[in-house]
Amino acid sequence: MTDTSTDPSGIPEPDGAATPIDTDYNIGQDNVEGSVGPIGFDIHNPVFMTSGVTIIVFVLLTLLLPDQSGAVFSWLFDTVTKSFDWLFIGAGDIFVIFCLFLIVSPYGRVRLGGVDATADYSYIGWFSMLFAAGMGIGLMFYGVSEPMSHYSSAMGGITLENGARTDWAPLAGAAGNEAEAVRLGMAATIYHWGLHPWAIYAVVGLALALFSFNKGLPLTLRSAFYPIFGERVWGWTGHAIDILAVFATLFGLATSLGLGATQANAGLSELFGVPFSTTTQVVLIMVITGFALISVVRGLDGGVKILSEINMGLAFTLLAFVLIAGPTVAILTGFADNLMAYFEYLPALAVPFGREDVNFSQGWTSFYWAWWISWSPFVGMFIARVSRGRTVREFVTCVLLIPSLVCVLWMSTFGGTAIHQVLNDGYTAAQEAPLELKMFKMFDMLPLSSITSLLGIVLVIVFFVTSSDSGSLVIDTITAGGKVDAPVPQRVFWCIFEGTVAIVLLLSTGGLASLQSMVISTGLPFTIVLLVMCYAIIRGLATEPRGS
Amino acid sequence: MFSKIMCPVDLAHAAKLTRALQAAADLGTQYDCPVCYVGVTGETPGAVAHSPKEYTAKLAAFAAEQGAQHGHKVTSHACISTDPSADLDKQLLAAATTLDADLIVMASHIPGLADHLWPSHGGQIARRAKASVFVIR
């Protein structure tokens, strides 16, 4: 790394002092520009072609050899989540500690984009975008079901078979102790949705923003590895990192489109009697993709930002309604109790080795961590792109703490209401309903349930549109070698491609399960990539000028 | 007849703009008014420049080079966007208003089938700009 800030022949600084990296690589030098018929393209050939062809081959194999591919993916899923649980859990802890260190360290004063850079978006617009991309649909899907599952398994306590635990309770459970089971259930849920996932996103987002805005490198994952690999990062070492990022993003998005279509279909079926079928779900994916297309064509400001803000508005309306119409006092006191329970149980939940609660730590935590990590290139790159002008301290604090607190409030409100319905009203419909219906069953006990259910369905759809459009932008940027000014039809291509992959796999037997296995599998190599990234961030920050 | 001419340029493809650049320079000379070369760039490093600041400097150098070559008065104006691909038309229209340009001279391609889906930037600017627009195909 060379400091060129004082060298007149080097790359001029961003806004104010910074230390760009002096590299021989010109952005776009490996790109191929041309046109297919009347439509132009500008792609990084090795990354675009390799990832595109591999994804098509994967989809074809899943369709043509469903049994064989199902067996392979099932084995892959089990191996990754069960054999590497220690790695996922340990790495998650390292990311949180790393982020907390950045907040309090002098590196926190470094400004992304140079010391004089100013933020592009207001806090509301910025926060809406990072929140919608980072959590999105998961909150709708798991908001009721996860607290309920952990509470139920904690109440059930420990069961042993041949000396091994067969229960799914977190830690040692809380057999028969209702109050403690609720606390443990909520603590375990917050553990999965709080600091740890957001620390993962913060690491990737910070690395991308730092090496792009301050160091002058292209906005792709490989750039963060320049301090380690040097110029080799522009060759196949870097290609491999970027290709992996494309896989993770596309498989993650396609899986989410499938899951979201299932939940929206379940809601429509409950509310309007629309048939629960793959045909309806295919139509839903096409509608979601259609909206996403409009959004990507309109761009970050004209599409993605507006949708994210609508999304936030709707989500907070729903949250406020459940808070007011539900057991308000119990939720509010529960919020504080749940936070305390989280910090109380956190040290035990975060232990990577010697866990006895193997089903919980492997089946839930390990799965979640692999899921968040495989999503991190997508969310991280999106967060990076909209975060120019923030200081490292501001960036990490906002990305880590504020969304975590919102998640705690969300889980306390949705999960807390559903558990309250079971404990105080004896209403167990939400507890017994299938995953995609739990939220709607919880709404049934509240006033104006038709309106809230409809709002819930709209929110599921809007969350998916925001994931699909921002995901298309991210994949397009990576496959264009970090260029953000590639022709618009390219992002349209990726948006349609995601929808098509989701539809094809929804129609095939076990297709979505295969996709989910692929998402989890890409999480494993990415865990190593992210750990190395932490070191690269420190190397990058060490040479940056710090503001006062 | 004209007091300020705006000429949008794509520095990555400047070689393809020869006719539009020549027309802008000729009109600038004929009406003795400055030609402002306008470019839109992203905030992230791109093929032309590693930062908005570097882009602004390169655009100014490009304008100066045009002035030296054709002998007309020049200025430059860089627009910074988070999403230059999608925001190009919007940024150029805003620049025309900011600069108070009364003529826009810009290059465009020959319309084809794809223009029904993605209209050309020249076509869009001609449709929506308040100033006169001279589209060079």
Per DSSP, what are the bridge partners of residue B40? Answer: B79
For residue B83, report the phi and psi dihedrals to the nearest 5 degrees: -140, 75
Quick one: pLDDT at residue A243?
92
Could A388 and B43 be called an inter-chain contact, meaning their C-beta atoms sit closer than 8 Å? yes
A443-462 residue pLDDT tens: 999 999 889 999 988 888 88
Mutate to test the interface with A, among B13, B51, B55 (most CBs of A within 10 A): B51
Could A485 and B41 be called an inter-chain contact, meaning their C-beta atoms sit closer than 8 Å? yes
Q: How confident is the model at residue A465 (pLDDT cuts 50, 70, 90)?
A: confident
Quick one: pLDDT at residue A1?
36
Least confident segment among A2-11, A143-152, A523-532: A2-11
Quick one: pLDDT at residue A131?
74
Q: How confident is the model at residue A18 (pLDDT cuts 50, 70, 90)?
A: low
Contacts of A219 in chain B (CB under 8 A): 44-45
Mutate to test the interface with A, among B13, B40, B50, B124 (most CBs of A within 10 A): B50
Q: Which residue has the higher pLDDT, A258 or B72?
A: B72
Could B83 and A484 be called an inter-chain contact, meaning their C-beta atoms sit closer than 8 Å? yes
Quick one: pLDDT at residue A4?
36
Quick one: pLDDT at residue B3?
92
Q: Is the pLDDT of residue A529 over 80?
A: yes
Q: How confident is the model at residue A176 (pLDDT cuts 50, 70, 90)?
A: confident
Q: How confident is the model at residue A310 (pLDDT cuts 50, 70, 90)?
A: confident
Least confident segment among A261-265, A274-278, A279-283, B59-63: A261-265
Least confident segment among A155-159, A318-322, A518-522, B19-23: A518-522
Mean pLDDT of A489-494: 88
Question: Where are chain A's structural domains?
Answer: 46-542
Nearest to B50 among A11, A299, A388 (CB): A11
Q: How confident is the model at residue A12 (pLDDT cuts 50, 70, 90)?
A: very low
Quick one: pLDDT at residue B87?
86
Q: Is the pLDDT of residue B116 over 80?
A: no
Report the b/e string of A292-318 with b at 16+ CB within 10 A.
bbebbbbbbbbbbbbbbbbbbebbeeb
% of chain B exceeding 90 in pLDDT: 58
Per DSSP (E only), the strands in A29-109 are: 31-36, 39-44
Contacts of A114 in chain B (CB under 8 A): 51
Nearest to A217 among B45, B47, B57 (CB): B45
Quick one: pLDDT at residue A9?
32
Q: Is the pLDDT of residue B39 over 70?
A: yes
Give dist(CA A489, CA A481) in Å, integer. Answer: 16
**A386 in contact with B at a CB cutoff of 8 Å?**
yes
Q: Is the pLDDT of residue A153 over 70?
A: yes
Could A302 and B86 be called an inter-chain contact, meaning their C-beta atoms sit closer than 8 Å? yes
Q: How confident is the model at residue A34 (pLDDT cuts 50, 70, 90)?
A: confident
Per DSSP (E only), the strands in A281-430 are: none
Please report the residues numbered 76 through 135 in chain B whose beta carbons come closer than 8 angstroms to any beta carbon of chain A: 81-87, 90, 112-115, 117-118
% of chain A exceeding 90 in pLDDT: 40
Are A160 and A366 spatial neighbours (Cβ–Cβ below 8 Å)?
A: no
Quick one: pLDDT at residue A135?
67
Distance from the A299 Cα atom to the nearest Cα atom in chain B, whole angstroms: 5
Quick one: pLDDT at residue A16?
59
End-to-end CA distance of chain B: 23
Could A219 and B114 be called an inter-chain contact, meaning their C-beta atoms sit closer than 8 Å? no
Could A37 and B114 be called an inter-chain contact, meaning their C-beta atoms sit closer than 8 Å? yes
- In the chain, the amino acid numbered B69 is Q
Mean pLDDT of A287-316: 86
Are A147 and A415 spatial neighbours (Cβ–Cβ below 8 Å)?
A: yes
Mean pLDDT of A254-267: 81
Q: How confident is the model at residue A15 (pLDDT cuts 50, 70, 90)?
A: low
Give dist(CA A433, CA B115) in Å, integer. Answer: 50
**B53 in contact with A at a CB cutoff of 8 Å?**
yes
Q: Is the pLDDT of residue B119 over 60?
A: yes
Reported residue count of chain B is 137
Nearest to A26 among B47, B53, B85 (CB): B47
Q: Which residue has the higher pLDDT, A187 or A115?
A: A187
Give dist(CA A167, CA A165) in Å, integer. Answer: 6
Quick one: pLDDT at residue B104?
95
Mean pLDDT of A67-88: 86
Could B87 and A482 be called an inter-chain contact, meaning their C-beta atoms sit closer than 8 Å? no
Mean pLDDT of B6-14: 90
Q: How confident is the model at residue B36 (pLDDT cuts 50, 70, 90)?
A: very high
Give dist(CA A376, CA A368) in Å, integer. Answer: 12
Indicate the helix (H) or strand (E) that contains B40.
strand B35-42
Give dist(CA A147, CA A436) in Å, integer. Answer: 14
Dihedral over Cα of A195, A196, A197, A199: its sign: positive
CB pairs under 8 A between A and B: 102
Quick one: pLDDT at residue A396?
95
**A217 in contact with B at a CB cutoff of 8 Å?**
yes
Q: Is A277 left (phi over 0), alpha (psi -120 to 50) or beta?
A: beta
- Residue of chain B whose alpha carbon sits nearest to that of A473: B83
Mean pLDDT of A275-296: 90
- Residue of chain A whose alpha carbon sits nearest to that of B57: A12
Q: Is the pLDDT of residue A142 over 50?
A: yes
Quick one: pLDDT at residue A137?
73
Mutate to test the interface with B, among A118, A222, A473, A485 (most CBs of B within 10 A): A485
B87-112 residue pLDDT tens: 889 999 999 999 999 999 998 877 66
Q: Is the pLDDT of residue A10 over 50?
A: no
In a domain, B134, yes or no: no
Are B39 and B8 spatial neighbours (Cβ–Cβ below 8 Å)?
A: yes
Quick one: pLDDT at residue A548?
66
**A8 in contact with B at a CB cutoff of 8 Å?**
no
Q: How confident is the model at residue B30 (pLDDT cuts 50, 70, 90)?
A: very high
* Range of A2-11, A201-210, A253-262, B84-93 with top mean pLDDT: A201-210
Q: How confident is the model at residue A511 (pLDDT cuts 50, 70, 90)?
A: low
Fold of the A46-542 domain: Hydantoin permease (1.10.4160)
Q: How confident is the model at residue A3 (pLDDT cuts 50, 70, 90)?
A: very low
In a domain, B97, yes or no: no
Q: Is the pLDDT of residue B69 over 90?
A: yes
Q: Is the pLDDT of residue A13 over 60?
A: no
In a domain, B118, yes or no: no
Nearest to B87 among A216, A299, A388 (CB): A299
Total domains, chain B: 1
% of chain A exceeding 70 in pLDDT: 95
In a domain, B99, yes or no: no
Q: Which residue has the higher pLDDT, A512 or A417?
A: A417
Q: Is the pLDDT of residue A121 over 60?
A: yes
Q: Is the pLDDT of residue A2 over 60?
A: no
In a domain, B44, yes or no: yes
Q: Compute the mean pLDDT over every residue in chain A, rounded to the nearest whole number.
A: 86
Quick one: pLDDT at residue A510?
66
Nearest to B82 among A39, A301, A482 (CB): A301
3-state SS, residue A466: helix
In a domain, B137, yes or no: no
In a domain, B90, yes or no: no
Q: How far, in whole angstroms, is CA B26 from its chain's centroid? A: 15
Could B52 and A299 be called an inter-chain contact, meaning their C-beta atoms sit closer than 8 Å? no
Mean pLDDT of A504-514: 73
Distance from the B29 Cα atom to the nearest Cα atom in chain A, whole angstroms: 33
* Range of A240-244, A373-377, A432-436, A483-487 with top mean pLDDT: A240-244
Residue B75's domain spans which residues? 1-9+35-83
